[in-house]
């Protein structure tokens, strides 16, 4: 087992090494230390090469920058643990190489040759190993053949040790069973739903004192967020339709150009199944007639699908003459044939009738005129855009633009949840998000062909609205709170009855039940907390929760172990075993490598590390 794992890990390491060659990372290194400095430290007699450290730090920083979408400094990399992670990885690698050398563990030239010859990067156009390509790739990356093959030899020997250490390490059964029991456990429960309809008596009218008390206790609900007071000038195509004239000739030309839309013959939804001979087609039709087969079963018997047989919407003229006459004579879906076709005898199935379309110009005129007017208005606005931009550049205000042009002036107290009027446009929202008082108005296009310009007048800090402004909201909130309190009392009364031995159905509240749900289960129309609460109860236990304007009394009826026949449970068992085994293997490998390092002795040259960090920072 260990040997197999080691072989597999070795192949992976070689693949990674080749990948580094292909992307060219190996071609970069530290060049300013001179030939006297070749390592950043040693583990026993095994050096930690300067270039290895340099390349891996640069690679990890680049990955972090890509993830964050910005450049990060060496100081930030150190704070994020990147430098420590690279040092630990290279130290562990050197510890294993040192141990392999101490044990005299190595691989022969033939094994190295197999790895090199099989590498795609070194193959020619004929797919075979090309020595010239091999030497050229290494030369371009600044690596000698000896250096590369030594690296392959070390990688292979190292992974044999790794495989011996981590191979065959099973995940503890108790750990898998515990996790599986948690995720796969099934629970059955029932619940009574107390909604506003179950109130024992109607809510009384609240007094002013009660509303004021509710308002004062829930001021965050009635506080406006920070807003931007924005003045804008805008125009939409629909605002200009009344001022755009469309003559009837233009509408009639558009009607004629789209005649296929307004004048369409009757069509049928058709499927076709072709047979090699008349006899085969007739025999198939006979099985349809006596009910021993269906059209779909005939299609599947030919190794086809209904998609293969589908011809879509066809007019009678688009079908063979005999088939067209028969299919268009049908008044309901059915099969006709066999009929001759260019591809052989075929059965046809008609699945639906699409009535002919005959829309005269008089009926289409209003729609076409509006479409033309919208298009004309968009072109007028497009022409207007340049003039508006020029006036803004000259220093004209939005108010002046509204007086001089067809733009309309408006003001909105905007925040990122606003959705009325112009705030419903994504273009306005995106611009408003970044708008500052220093920004000058510019023309921005809207998705429907309109344009607008905007100005930030002031920032409105969060403000508690007066109770008179939000009285309706306060009343609704008070009613919801009072309803929930009264329903909770009713649910508590039922809970006491059930605990005394009464069934959950003792009240007028409707009762539902669920069977065999796991923790990730969901019941449509109920809050997610319903299922999670059921998994917090002991068998027979009761709990009250709120959600969706209702109060629920849930009772756990039974607990069952994971279903071994459930495919999800089988897959979950495999995944948990793999993850646990991998985690244990990684921990074991790290502990083993660290122990080797402590035994052999680790020395890190901090001055060399500092010089490398400086060179990376100045690149």
Domain range summary for the chain, segments of one domain joined by +: 2-169+582-617, 186-216+471-560, 227-238+376-461, 266-355
Query: Of 296-305, 406-415, 555-564, which range is least confident?
Result: 296-305
User: Is 5's pLDDT higher than 50?
Assistant: no
> Among candidates 558, 84, 582, 512, which has minimal Cα distance to 574?
582
Say how far apart CA 282 and CA 517 lie, in whole Å: 53
Q: Are strands 542-547 and 550-560 parallel, antiparallel or unpaired?
A: antiparallel
Residue for token pair 């190295």: 112
**Average pLDDT for 548-565:** 91
- Asked: is 266-355 a CATH 3.40.640.10 domain? The reply is no
User: Is 335's pLDDT higher than 70?
Assistant: yes
Q: Which residues pair with 227 in a beta bridge?
A: 460
Q: Work out the pLDDT band at 248, boundaries 50, 70, 90.
A: low
Q: Work out the pLDDT band at 12, boundaries 50, 70, 90.
A: very low
Residue for token pair 């990376």: 616
Q: Work out the pLDDT band at 514, boundaries 50, 70, 90.
A: very high
DSSP 153: H
Distance (Å) of CA 189 to CA 498, 511, 530, 532, 546: 14, 11, 10, 11, 17
Residue for token pair 């020997």: 157
| 255 Cβ neighbours under 8 A, 6+ residues apart | 262, 361, 364, 365, 368
pLDDT winner (highest mean) among 63-67, 501-505, 562-566: 501-505
User: Is 508's pLDDT higher than 70?
Assistant: yes
Query: Of 158-167, 205-214, 404-413, which range is least confident?
Result: 158-167
Query: Can you give the pLDDT at residue 460?
Result: 93
Query: Can you give the pLDDT at residue 96?
Result: 82
Percent of the chain at pLDDT above 90? 30
Query: Of 13-22, 37-46, 233-242, 321-330, which range is least confident?
Result: 13-22
DSSP 123: B
The answer to whether the CB of 534 falls within 8 A of the CB of 189 is: yes
The pTM assigned to this predicted structure is: 0.51
Say how far apart CA 532 and CA 539 lie, in whole Å: 14
Query: Can you give the pLDDT at residue 11?
Result: 44
User: Is 21's pLDDT higher than 60?
Assistant: no
Query: Residue 485 is encoded by which pair of tokens?
Result: 């309190």
Q: Work out the pLDDT band at 45, boundaries 50, 70, 90.
A: confident
Query: Can you give the pLDDT at residue 3?
Result: 40
The pLDDT tens digits for 438-468 are 899 999 989 888 889 999 999 999 999 999 9
What is the CATH T-level fold of the domain 227-238+376-461, as seen in this structure? Chitinase A; domain 3 (3.10.50)
Between residues 488 and 26, the one the model is more confident about: 488
The answer to whether the CB of 347 falls within 8 A of the CB of 326 is: no
Give the Cα-Cα-Cα angle 284, 286, 290 (nearest 5 degrees): 125
Query: Can you give the pLDDT at residue 499?
Result: 94
Say how far apart CA 262 and CA 358 lie, in whole Å: 6
User: Is 473's pLDDT higher than 50?
Assistant: yes
| 585 Cβ neighbours under 8 A, 6+ residues apart | 166, 169
Peptide bond into 338 cis (omega under 30): yes
Say how far apart CA 18 and CA 14 lie, in whole Å: 6
Q: Are strands 346-354 and 334-339 parallel, antiparallel or unpaired?
A: antiparallel
- Asked: is 2-169+582-617 a CATH 2.60.40 domain? The reply is no
2-169+582-617 and 227-238+376-461 agree in CATH topology: no
User: Is 24's pLDDT higher than 60?
Assistant: no
**Average pLDDT for the chain:** 83
How far is C-alpha 5 from the chain's CA centre? 35
The pLDDT tens digits for 161-190 are 767 766 666 767 777 788 888 888 999 999
Phi then psi for 62, rounded to 5 degrees?
-60, -40
DSSP 141: T
Between residues 282 and 116, the one the model is more confident about: 282
């Amino acid at each position: 087992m260990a040997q197999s794992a080691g072989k597999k890990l070795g192949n992976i390491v070689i693949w990674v090494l080749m990948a580094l060659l292909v992307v060219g990372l190996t071609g970069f290194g530290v060049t300013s230390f001179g030939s006297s400095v070749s390592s950043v430290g040693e583990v026993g007699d095994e050096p930690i090469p300067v270039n290895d450290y340099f390349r891996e730090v640069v690679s990890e920083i680049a990955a972090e920058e890509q993830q964050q979408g910005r450049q990060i400094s060496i100081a930030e990399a150190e704070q994020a643990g990147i430098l420590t992670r690279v040092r630990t990885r290279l130290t562990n690698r050197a510890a294993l190489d040192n141990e392999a050398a101490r044990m005299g563990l190595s691989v022969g030239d033939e094994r190295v040759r197999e790895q090199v010859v099989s590498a795609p990067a070194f193959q020619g156009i004929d797919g075979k190993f090309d020595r010239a390509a091999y030497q050229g790739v290494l030369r371009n990356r600044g690596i000698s053949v000896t250096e590369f093959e030594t690296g392959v030899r070390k990688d292979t020997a190292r992974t044999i040790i790794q495989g011996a250490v981590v191979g065959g390490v099973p995940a503890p059964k108790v750990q898998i069973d515990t996790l599986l029991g948690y995720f796969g456990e099934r629970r059955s429960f029932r619940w009574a739903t107390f909604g506003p309809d179950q109130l024992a008596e109607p809510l009384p009218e609240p007094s002013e004192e009660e509303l004021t008390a509710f308002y004062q206790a829930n001021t965050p609900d009635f506080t406006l967020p920070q807003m931007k007071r924005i003045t804008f000038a805008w125009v939409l195509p629909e605002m200009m339709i009344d001022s755009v004239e469309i003559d009837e000739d233009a509408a009639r030309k558009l009607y004629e150009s789209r005649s296929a839309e307004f004048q369409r013959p009757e069509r049928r939804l058709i499927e076709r199944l072709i047979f090699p001979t008349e006899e085969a087609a007739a025999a198939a039709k006979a099985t349809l007639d006596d009910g021993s087969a269906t059209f779909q079963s005939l299609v599947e018997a030919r190794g086809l699908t209904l998609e293969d047989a589908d011809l879509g919407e066809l007019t009678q003229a688009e079908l063979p003459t005999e088939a067209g006459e028969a299919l268009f004579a049908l008044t309901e879906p059915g099969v006709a044939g066999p009929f001759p076709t260019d591809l052989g005898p075929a059965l046809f199935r008609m699945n639906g009738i699409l009535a002919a379309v005959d829309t005269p110009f008089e009926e289409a005129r209003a729609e076409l005129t509006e479409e033309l007017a919208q298009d004309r208005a968009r072109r007028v606005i497009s022409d207007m855009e340049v003039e508006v931009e020029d006036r803004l550049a000259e220093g004209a205000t939005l108010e002046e633009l509204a007086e001089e042009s067809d733009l309309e002036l408006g003001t909105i107290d905007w925040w990122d949840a606003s959705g009325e009027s112009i705030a419903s446009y994504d273009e306005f929202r995106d611009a408003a998000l970044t708008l500052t008082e220093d920004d000058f108005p510019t023309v921005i296009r809207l998705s429907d062909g309109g344009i607008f310009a905007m100005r930030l007048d002031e920032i409105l800090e969060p403000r508690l609205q007066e109770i008179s402004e939000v009285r309706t909201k306060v009343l609704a909130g008070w009613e919801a709170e009072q309803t929930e309190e009264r329903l909770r009392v009713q649910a508590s009364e039922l809970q006491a009855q059930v605990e005394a031995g009464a069934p959950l159905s003792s009240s007028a509240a409707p009762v539902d039940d669920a069977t065999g749900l796991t923790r990730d289960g969901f019941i449509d129309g109920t809050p997610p907390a319903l299922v999670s609460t059921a998994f917090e109860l002991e068998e027979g236990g009761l709990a009250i929760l709120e959600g969706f304007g209702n109060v629920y009394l849930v009772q756990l009826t039974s607990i069952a172990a994971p279903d071994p026949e459930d495919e999800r449970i089988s897959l979950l068992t495999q995944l948990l075993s793999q993850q646990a085994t991998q985690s244990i293997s990684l921990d074991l490998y790290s502990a083993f490598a660290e122990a080797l390092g402590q035994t052999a002795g680790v020395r890190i040259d901090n001055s060399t590390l500092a010089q490398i960090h400086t060179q990376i920072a100045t690149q």
